[in-house]
Structure 1
Amino acid sequence: MTDAAWKPRLIALDVDGTLLNPDTGLISAAVKAAVHRAIAGGGQVVVSTGRTVLGAGPVLDELQLTSGFALCSNGAVLLDVATREAASVETFDLAPVLSELSARLPGVIFAAEDLGIGNRVTAEFPAHQLEGLQHPTTVDELAAVPAPRLIASWPGRRPAEVVERLAGVELPSCTYTLDHYEPWVTVTPEGVSKGSALEKLRAELGVLASDTFAAGDGDNDIEMLRWAAHGVAMGQGPAAVHAAADEVAAPVAEDGLAAILDRWFG
């Protein structure tokens, strides 16, 4: 944005790698303060994350957010921040994508979100990777119940190997993104992304498209950055994310988000 008088009204913020430093597991004091200055200055902050509702809760607590909305599971779940209940949920049929990923990633394990409870898993995930309870199940049992989010993890592999195996692949009846920290595929309903969910929320809130801002660092943030009138990629993010943004901030370890927000709300 070149207009010196411009300020964003709807501010969409990714969590891991944007608000929160994955190396420390913390949101810095500088970033917290900048977020609250943005709210005090009239911005509506929408935490927008690939995490489930359970995973987003501690972040909302740490930021001391008590109203508004958050987007969880890459936009499949709209969370009412005040009540911590889902205002809307989109689910999809897991069977076709389970079959395709099992064939392309031999040895893959799955976790399907069990809203507000945890995940149904085909093998145990490390505790720090999933929020809530893990309920063991078979792939066939997993396929029988629609879910808002599916995680496919390829244990013992590198994220780059997942990217290579799925290069150019269109998985059936879903939207998927890859992770640059873990050998993961995150799958949501077809057509659902942070960007699509934010556009729906923007229209419902009556915010002009020209008054939107987003910041993120991952492949699952690309649609959100393209959606925003001003999209900011975090410095440590990959080249594809930088290319989708209007601007590249300093890395999360250097409080890059705080510096950007303080341009308008400092």
Structure 2
Amino acid sequence: MMPSAVFPDLKNRSVLITGGGSGIGAALTEGFVAQGARVAFIDIAEAASQDLANALDNKYGNRPFYLKADLTDIEALRNAVATAISKNGPVTVLVNNAAWDDRHDIDDVTENYWDGNQAINLRPHFFTAQAVVSGMRTAGGGSIINFTSISFMINQGNLPAYTAAKAGIIGLTKGLAGRLGPEKIRVNAIAPGWVMTERQRTHWVTEEGLEAYMKRQAIPEELLPGDMVGPCLFLASDASRMLTAQTLIVDGGCL
């Protein structure tokens, strides 16, 4: 469900979302499209992304611009960002959402696996931000929103490379906020709890596991991708103009 709030300053804003073709990313793409923003999104899954672009065009009459790129390839990432800028103008809202949360055990992690995991879950956050900063400076400011996760906060033990990356995103967020704040570029993070995407339901959700997890939440309801949209719109908009270097935890009050 999309939030009912409207942020007038987001209309016609140039927005770039990584991993915007499915799961939380697809909800974010729709959320900004619904606000009337000029949205570009990067995703490696072409068929699903094209279907999403078509569906949102039919629903809102505001087609998001899909860019296929492998975010582990920094040159391809930079080219995709440049194409988005040429299409929609300088990016003033960047949402670093892309991630890959495969489960893995400490005994099974190789050097190549570790490096590949960081190349998906941490490295693109920095290089996508680097690629849009010049345009934000020219525009007089902007908002960068980095998606992390509560997984490293709750000592989740079955994906250590992923949780290390997600903790690193908090450090990156604070470091970039300190560097870019004087240029009116705000940098914040959103830490979702266990969001019931199709991927989660397919691979890891069981009735017993979900029931046990709900008991840990102060609000005992399933978190859905759309629940991440309102917080992200707020951080993108001028409503949060003096909010930077912060992490907004959206987890239903997980204990």
Instruction: Give the TM-score normalised by the residue count of structure 2.
Output: 0.39
Instruction: Give the TM-score normalised by the residue count of structure 1.
Output: 0.38
Bigger proportion of residues as helix:
2
